[in-house]
Amino acid sequence: MKPLESVNEFVVRFANVNGTGSASANLLFAKSVFRMGIPICAKNIFPSNIQGLPTWYEVRVSEKGYIGARGDGVDLMVSVNAQSLAEDVACVVPGGYFVYDDIKPLPAELARDDITVLGLPLTEICNREYKEPRLRQLFKNVIYVGALAALVDIDFEVLKKLVADQFEEKKKLIAPNVHALELGYNYARKHFPCPLGLRLKACDKTGDSILLDGNTALGLGAVYGGATVVGWYPITPSTSVIDTFRNYAAATRQDPETGKNNFAVVQAEDELAAIGIVIGAAWNGARSFTATSGPGVSLMSEFLGLAYFAEIPAVLYNVQRCGPSTGMPTRTQQGDVLLCAYASHGDTKHVLLFPSTPKEAFDFAADAFDLADRLQTPVMVLSDLDLGMNDNMSPPLVWNDNRKYDRGKVLTAEDLENMKEKFGRYLDVDGDGIGWRTYPGTHPTKGAYFTRGTSHDAYAAYTENSDIYLESMRRLEKKWQTARTLVPAPETERKGKGRKRGALYYGTTMHAAREALDRLAEEGTELDAMRIRAFPFSKEVEDFIAAHDEIFVIEQNRDAQMRSLLINEFDVNPDRLVRILYYGGKPITAHDIHEKIVRHLKDGARSQNVA
C-alpha cells in the first residue's frame, strides 16, 4: 500500500487519557496549523469523566475550507493511550500513518501492513529528561507535538511564537516548553523520513478568521447584549458560557467610581430556580439569561410556559447534548428542537435561534435580548456541544458601537402621565399582537398590573370567560406572526435555476452539509440549499419548500425533529421531506451525509428514512 500523500488536506487524531494535560498540547498543534493560514476543524471527543478515560482530539486540515468533520477514518493517528490502542489502529485509513508511544511494541494482532507505523519513544525521552512524574506527563504531550511538527512540516517558528503567546504571563515556562518541542522535533528529524506524505504548506486561506468555542461566544454575546442578571445551575456542556460571562463582566463591568459590579450572577439551587430568577429579573426590567442543556430545559418547562402566557422576556442558551434523559453528557446532538419549540403544557411555542458558527453564537446571544424584549416572550438560542465546546473556525466577532438596545414596548412615567385611555397591559394597541408593559415602580398611580399565569383579560385581570380567553390566545398567535418577520432570516446557501431538489439544515450541521453538497455537485447532482436560522420559520423557508419537489432535511437527532416542525407548521406533505440523520453523538460528517443522500438517490423511495 502506497503511503498517503497530501498537502493541506488530511485528518489527524490524537488519542489521549483525559486529565493528563493533553488538551493544551493538542490545541498548540491545531493553532499552529491555523496560524500557517490553513483552515482547520478541531473536535474534542471526550468522556463524562474527570480523569483516566480515553479522550480524542481530531484536527481536520483543509486548505479547501472544509471545516466540518470529514468522517471515513483518520489519516494520521497520534496514539498516547494504550487503553484505546486497538480501535485507534483500526480507524486509520489504508495508506495512513500511526504514530505511537513505543514503550511497548505494537501487539502482533494489531499489526497492519497497509499503514505506516512510527514508534516514538515518548516515555523513554521523558524519563531521561525529567525527574518529576508530573513534568514527565505534561511534557510528554509537548514532545509529541514537536515530533509532529517535523513529521508534517509545521513551521517551527510559528510553534515557538505560539508558546511565547501562551505563556505571556508566565515567561519562565517558555524555554522549557520550547525545549520539549525541540526534543520531539529533533528525534523525529533524526529517526524518520521527514516530512511524511501528509504535510503542511503555509497558505492564506484563513483570512481574518478566529478560532473560538461557541460557549465563549455566547458568554461574550450576553455581555455585549446588556445582560445584567444571570440565574444558572451547572450542567455539561453549558457551564463555560456562565464562566465566560462572569469573567468578562468582572473585567469590563465594574463601576469606574465604586468598583462595584454592574451585573449579578447567582448559582441557583436547580434549573427551576435558575429560570425563575431570569423571569423575575426580566419582569422587573433587567436583561437576564440562563445557560443550560436539555435536562435543564425539561425542568424549566413550566416556567417557560408562564413566561409565554404572561409575556415576559427571558433568554435561554441551550447547549444541546446527547439525550434522552442523562444520555451522553459529553456528546453532541441537535436533539432538543421539539422540546424547546413547544416547552410547557397547553398551546405554547417559543422563539428559537440556531447559530452555526461562533460569530453567529455571539450575534444571536446579543440579538436574543432585543427579540425577547421586543416580543415579550422567551427566546432560546440552540447551540450544541460541538459548537459550544470545540474551537471552531469563524469569522471575527464584530459590534456596531452605534447599536442601541431595543427594550421593546415599555411605558415611562411620562408616557403614563400623558395617556388618555386606560392602561391595559395586554391591549393590542398597535395591531402587532404585542402590548405595552410597565416596570414595577414606574408611576405612583398608573401602570400597575397583576402578572399571572392564569387566564387574563387585556387589563391583566383574572377571567374564565371563554371569549376573552380566545381573544388573548388569538392575539398571542398574531404576535407569533410578528415574530416571523423579526427573527433572523434563513440563509440561501446554494441556488440554481429550476432545481427540483433541495436541502435544509441548521446549526452545526452546516459545515458537513456544505461539503457533502459540494461532493454531490462534483458528481453531477446539484441541490439547492437553505440554512434555517430561526423558529418561527420565515416566509423564505415556506417558499423554499414550495419550490422543490424533494427536500433533504439534514440534522443530528433520531426523530427528524426539524422535519416534524416543518411539517407541523406548514402542512407539508411529509413524503417531500427526506430525513438525513446522524445521531451517534459525534459531530455529523460530510461522508455520512453524502452517503445517505446518494443512497436515497439510488434506491429512491423511503430507504433513507431509516438513519
> Where in 165-224 is the site for other proteins (CB under 8 A)?
208-212, 220, 223-224
8 A C-beta contact, residue 12 and residue 59 = yes
**With respect to other proteins, which residue has the nearer C-beta, 347 or 575?**
347
Count of CA atoms in the C-beta half-sphere (13 A) of 67:
25
CB of 392 to other proteins, least distance (A): 10
Among 44, 228, 320, 333, binds other proteins (CB under 8 A): 228
Grid cell, residue 288, equals: 437576564
Q: Is 319 in the site for other proteins (CB under 8 A)?
A: no
Q: Is 578 in the site for other proteins (CB under 8 A)?
A: no
Q: Is 266 in the site for other proteins (CB under 8 A)?
A: yes
Among 109, 132, 169, 401, binds other proteins (CB under 8 A): 401
| Cis preceding linkage at 536, omega within 30 | yes
Q: Is 125 in the site for other proteins (CB under 8 A)?
A: no
Q: Is 231 in the site for other proteins (CB under 8 A)?
A: yes
Among 10, 29, 34, 56, binds other proteins (CB under 8 A): 34
CB of 491 to other proteins, least distance (A): 22
**With respect to other proteins, which residue has the nearer C-beta, 51 or 402?**
402
**With respect to other proteins, which residue has the nearer C-beta, 84 or 228?**
228
**With respect to other proteins, which residue has the nearer C-beta, 11 or 212?**
212
Rounded-to-integer distance, Cα 247 and Cα 236, Å: 18
Q: Say which residues have a Cβ less than 8 Å from residue 160's Cβ, sequence separation at least 6.
A: 178, 181
Q: Is 252 in the site for other proteins (CB under 8 A)?
A: yes
By CB under 8 A, the residues from 54 to 93 that bind other proteins are none
8 A C-beta contact, residue 159 and residue 149 = yes
CB of 368 to other proteins, least distance (A): 15
**With respect to other proteins, which residue has the nearer C-beta, 327 or 424?**
424
Among 67, 78, 183, 306, binds other proteins (CB under 8 A): 306
By CB under 8 A, the residues from 421 to 450 that bind other proteins are 438-445, 448-450
**With respect to other proteins, which residue has the nearer C-beta, 17 or 265?**
265
Q: Is 253 in the site for other proteins (CB under 8 A)?
A: yes
Q: Is 302 in the site for other proteins (CB under 8 A)?
A: yes
Rounded-to-integer distance, Cα 545 and Cα 541, Å: 6
Q: Which stretch binds other proteins (CB under 8 A): 4-12, 188-196, 400-408, 571-579?
A: 400-408
Among 41, 143, 188, 268, binds other proteins (CB under 8 A): 268
Question: 109 — phi, psi (to 5°)?
Answer: -70, -15
**With respect to other proteins, which residue has the nearer C-beta, 228 or 377?**
228
Rounded-to-integer distance, Cα 585 and Cα 185, Å: 35
8 A C-beta contact, residue 582 and residue 588 = yes
Q: Is 158 in the site for other proteins (CB under 8 A)?
A: no
Among 109, 204, 255, 571, binds other proteins (CB under 8 A): 255
| Cis preceding linkage at 313, omega within 30 | no
By CB under 8 A, the residues from 282 to 301 that bind other proteins are 282-286, 288
Q: Which residue has the cell 446532538?
A: 333
Q: Is 355 in the site for other proteins (CB under 8 A)?
A: no
C-alpha distance across the termini of the chain, in Å: 33
Rounded-to-integer distance, Cα 250 and Cα 112, Å: 54
Rounded-to-integer distance, Cα 13 and Cα 91, Å: 10
Rounded-to-integer distance, Cα 236 and Cα 294, Å: 10
Q: Is 17 in the site for other proteins (CB under 8 A)?
A: no
Q: Is 276 in the site for other proteins (CB under 8 A)?
A: yes
Q: Is 468 in the site for other proteins (CB under 8 A)?
A: no
Which residues in 45-79 are b (16+ Cβ under 10 Å) and which e? Answer: bbbeeeeeebbbbbbbbbbeebbbbbbeebbbbbb
Rounded-to-integer distance, Cα 505 and Cα 573, Å: 18
Grid cell, residue 311, equals: 409575556
Rounded-to-integer distance, Cα 23 and Cα 14, Å: 10
Parallel, antiparallel, or unpaired: how do β-strands 6-7 and 198-199 relate?
A: parallel
